[in-house]
Structure 1
């Protein structure tokens, strides 16, 4: 799919803020350790950072963890989060090493087209590439096999247009208000499930 870059420069996709807080010591420490382990190669680092978030931060729906983490540093500290939170963590790790990272979203539904929900993932832009590449660190399980790829997307959930599902083409530098409101306003995962946005 073609992603829409709304800003002519990449500065917004490298910025630190309250959510993607890559200036936090834990994010910096994690990013520096992964960077050193990959010999400071941006492509290798991006793949290792993706695998780190996908595989070592369980999706709270899979783990049953009731805590709601949304700030990147908190996601790394608690090793917990839903798709949005895991995307914030991966974006922070990428931005910490100068790799532009954007937040992306999909609208997904049950197999009968009911219960729509907004799912979060990221897009990155490696040095030397003129296009954005989407990656989904949601976490694999039976029926979900997201892999790092710069050539052909292998996301957790390919959309099914016949069910009303869609890929939002926008590249967000920060979470949209509906996403952040749900995360910040929920005391636990059960409450969060009821507050998740159904569309952007």
Structure 2
């Protein structure tokens, strides 16, 4: 098996400069003191071990809102950390922030399901391959696992091609505007995903 070949298709960065995947912005705000503190607490001696520890923290310690019935509407990384729960997009923003705070390039990836699902693309130290990591949280049938190669990727949800489900091939350095617009409409306590787009317009 070729370790560079993902069963979900190849990933490509949308930005040529790797620094874009280490930068802080309004959503992936990894310069926030609470994010800096948590990133340091999760740091291991080996950077791959750090990535796995960060992944496990976001997947297992930050609840998915739908799983626990607490809808924080948080999407900014620091707000997700404070709230302790978010939908998949908020969790992916926190995972990217904690990885970037530890010097590991990380971006945002998407899967077309009934609504747009968010996960991450990560460039692990010493690797030339972007790898999908899905920290959604393993409840209600989800089964996302840590991976170090594209061939070993295991997102939370499988695709049903008959329903048009698929993984997008792009690793975004920042949240796409159409998604960010939707996330800003969410309100604490609001149940469901009706503010999310079902797909990324113009994306393959």
Query: Do both share a fold (TM > 0.5)?
Result: yes
Query: How many residues get paired?
Result: 190
Alignment check: 8 A CA contact 2:15 2:173 kept: no
Could you say which residue in structure 2 is the equivalent of 1:119? 117
Q: CA deviation at 1:168?
A: 0.8
Alignment check: 8 A CA contact 1:183 1:192 kept: no
Could you say which residue in structure 2 is the equivalent of 1:198? 198
Q: Which moved more, 1:67-76 or 1:187-196?
A: 187-196
Q: Which moved more, 1:178-187 or 1:121-130?
A: 178-187
Alignment check: 8 A CA contact 2:29 2:97 kept: yes
Residue 72 of structure 2 corresponds to residue 72 of structure 1: no
Could you say which residue in structure 2 is the equivalent of 1:182? 182
Question: Partners of 1:17 and 1:192 in 2: how far apart?
Answer: 26
Q: Which moved more, 1:137-146 or 1:23-32?
A: 137-146
Which one of 95, 107, 111 corresponds to residue 100 of structure 2?
95
Residue 35 of structure 2 corresponds to residue 27 of structure 1: yes
5+ long unaligned stretches in structure 2: 1-8
Deviation string, structure 1 residues 34-85 (Cα, Å, up to 9, x no partner) = 11xx22x110000000000000000000011122101101111110100000
Deviation string, structure 1 residues 147-200 (Cα, Å, up to 9, x no partner) = 101131111012121211111111111111121111111223536621111110
Could you say which residue in structure 1 is the equivalent of 2:67? 62
Which one of 43, 51, 54 corresponds to residue 49 of structure 1?
54
Alignment check: 8 A CA contact 2:124 2:148 kept: no
Q: CA deviation at 1:127?
A: 1.5
Q: CA deviation at 1:131?
A: 0.5
Question: Partners of 2:189 and 2:20 in 1: how far apart?
Answer: 30
Residue 12 of structure 2 corresponds to residue 13 of structure 1: no
SS at 2:126 equivalent: coil
SS at 2:34 equivalent: helix
SS at 1:193 equivalent: coil
| Residues 160-179 of structure 1 aligned to structure 2 (within 5 Å) | 160-179=160-179
> What is the TM-score of this pair, normalised by structure 1?
0.91
5+ long unaligned stretches in structure 1: 109-115
